[in-house]
Structure 1
């Protein structure tokens, strides 16, 4: 099994690997460092650092990299400024999500990262779509991702050491301090959407900063960040905070029928989305436009509170039932330091928050704050109604 350099370093002194061994070629990372709930709590007052070396990284070079990627994906990035990031999707012909990835353009290179199980497939798709464009997609297994979560990611000793100002906008990016270390590039940081607060809830969102760095310098940056006061945290803490913030992970919280509206991925970078509604043609656009203008998605992503006394917890992919009727599927299941056992789930839109549910036999309830009702009249629907009524 391939291990991240961080897990290898701390495996005998507190680091606990995830209970599920990752597929071949994907680095194992720490699940926690002995206190998973305390690691989550540390993010609310200071800053935690999480090793996310299990993500795959792809480099795009070439003069047409952004305009080319714009034509084959869902986000409007043809004119993405230097040192800016965005989230993006690749859809199939029916508008179902095949890939979800984050991209950052810096110094005429576009860096893409995606869950490790999707790295090879995404690279294959990008390579296949090059044709005559001036772009070259290349896998970069030598690059690794670290993530900071908490108010200390934007202010305090860690932020000061990384030279990240408190007013850095979401999706901004810049070089890490010091141009090089032993003649090797140090990587860059970017700000991502916040974690930790439910939409409509009262909790304060937690700032998130990603660092993309060479694997050879991963221990170097880890030490500098922890020496500056960051708490080491594992994937358990990160997943608990993203679940509470309704941030889905492809394949775990989605299935082969998921469309972007169901997962909350609609919107340009300004709306923290991955699907821009005002861009040109791309594969799957017809479904996106039809749902946006005329219909509603059949399911929606919600937060479930699970019965902690149940003998067994549900697993991703397990059915959610209302009585004897299946009404959804379970995604990430995790223990949160405040909410207890929670999960993301894709549930039929007609199911209300007061519906009694079970997930793999365990009692479950929908957090009402996770349901965002759309009360406005859709533009396409309004136009149809005007046509039906005729001229006045």
Structure 2
């Protein structure tokens, strides 16, 4: 970033983990923390600010701002950072242009998802953010994989993530104040509109794939913009954004919108058997995916290629509608059953302002949309519009059939 003289990898010392400064500031005047405490070492954030369904509605006409300080931030410096990351992950990023972003995965040897993260390359630093519990394992993995490459991964516990959702994230007073280009492409990024300290950046914004395109509906997808800012300036940016007209919203609102848009989060909506095809993470940045199908070798590539060319994933991510009259809601990880037989697992469960109780679930591919399901004692049904059938002929399967035909 212009004028920055900070040495890559140097960070301010952070002692202990306190709640997010935003939750602390508003805890007595409307902010409600999540009913379950975050994992150890992860800052608590607001679940809502007194009107969780209204916060969701506000995203449809204006813009909401969500404190996502529970995400971990990592920086990677060094001249070979992108070519090195390219070799150990699933996305094609070797030639990622400056001020561009991408989603990415780290897979195990069997092609199962271990890490999902977003990266942004800006002014010779690659910034990575991922769900908080994955921060330490991811940076440990990255450091082990450096070997001789000119790349230096380092945790940045002093950096925080804010997310804007709604038309006002692209145009209007908030976007104008942040100098967000309304014509910027998805995954484009740029500096926030201030000078920079000598020892740290004041942050940047990046456009993310939209949320809120309701399955079967006509709603226009809601623009999404992330901000990465120093924790010391988190209250400053929060105040500027809300003063410009954004509605404060908690994780409840964000989760409701991403669930309706079939956007999974690792661990909550995935398990240790999940492969990228099941979660909808196939595709390059232009397809809003995290697995590029035309890149070279990386760990787990054989499974990705085999499923893409010859088979189908055993499960698929769907949207479930839950019976709102049930005494209890299912919890993430609980089984989804059909006729007493387990056919999947439940993911994020949330109340949507229009749909009522909904959830993401990984369901066996052979389960039809009209099958009666149960999850945690509540009746459930698959939203048929959340199922996208792939009827194309796979290249590998077509080649096998040609060989079989030629041998007769």
What is the TM-score when the length of structure 1 is the normalising length? Answer: 0.98
1:46/1:151 contact within 8 Å kept: yes
Deviation string 1:86-145 (CA, Å, 9 cap, x unpaired) is: 000000000000000000000000000000000000010000000111000000000000
Alignment partner, residue 340 of structure 1: 356
Kept in 2, the 8 Å contact 1:74–1:91? The answer is yes
* Match of residue 215, structure 1, among 222, 225, 231: 231
The correspondence for 1:38, drawn from 29, 41, 54, is: 54
Higher deviation after alignment, 183-192 or 3-12 = 183-192
CA RMSD of aligned residues (A): 1.2
Q: Structure 2: how far apart are the matches of 1:353 and 1:202?
A: 21
- CA shift, 1:2, in A, is 2.0
For residues 313-350 of structure 1, give each alpha carbon's deviation from its aligned partner in whole angstroms, at most 9, with x where no partner exists: 00000000011110000000000000000000000000
1:60 touches 1:135 (CA, 8 Å); kept in 2? yes
Which residue is equivalent to 1:311? 327
Spell out structure 1 runs of 4+ moving beyond 4 A.
Answer: 181-184
The aligned counterpart of 1:195 is 211
Instruction: Indicate conservation of the 8 Å contact 1:198/1:369, yes or no.
Output: no
Distance 1:24 1:240 in 2: 24
CA contact (8 A) 2:74 2:128 kept: yes
Alignment pair present for 1:301 and 2:317: yes
Q: Which of 272, 276, 299 pairs up with 1:256?
A: 272
2:157 is the alignment partner of 1:178 = no
1:369 aligns with 2:390: no
Residues 238-270 of structure 1: CA distance to partner in whole angstroms, max 9, x if unpaired? 000000000000000000000000000000000
Q: Number of aligned pairs?
A: 392
Measure the CA separation in 2 of the matches of 1:187 and 1:90. 26
**Residues of 2 paired with 1:174 and 1:199: CA distance?**
31
**Which residue in the other structure is 1:322 paired with?**
338
Structure 2: how far apart are the matches of 1:182 and 1:73?
A: 33
Q: Counterparts of 1:364 and 1:2 in 2: how far apart (Å)?
A: 38
When residues 181 and 126 of structure 1 are mapped into structure 2, their CA distance, relative to the original with a 3 A threshold, is closer
One of 375, 385, 391 as aligned partner of 2:401 = 385
1:85–1:173: 8 Å Cα contact kept in structure 2? yes
Q: In structure 2, how many angstroms separate the alpha carbons of the residues matched to 1:198 and 1:285?
A: 32
2:160 counterpart SS class: strand
Q: Which residue of the partner structure matches residue 123 of structure 1? A: 139
Q: Conserved in 1, the CA contact under 8 Å of 2:215 and 2:260?
A: no
Offset of 1:200 from its aligned partner? 5.2
* Structure 2 unaligned spans of 5+: 1-16
Aligned to 1:85: 101
Instruction: Provide the rounded CA distance (Å) in 1 between the counterparts of 2:199 and 2:281.
Output: 39
1:11 equivalenced with 2:24 (yes/no): no
Residue from 38, 43, 48 that aligns with 1:27: 43
State the match for 1:142 in structure 2.
Answer: 158
1:2 is aligned to: 18
Q: For residues 200 and 295 of structure 1, what CA distance do their matches in structure 2 show?
A: 28
Structure 1 residues without counterparts, runs of 5 or longer: none
Shift of 1:184: 5.1
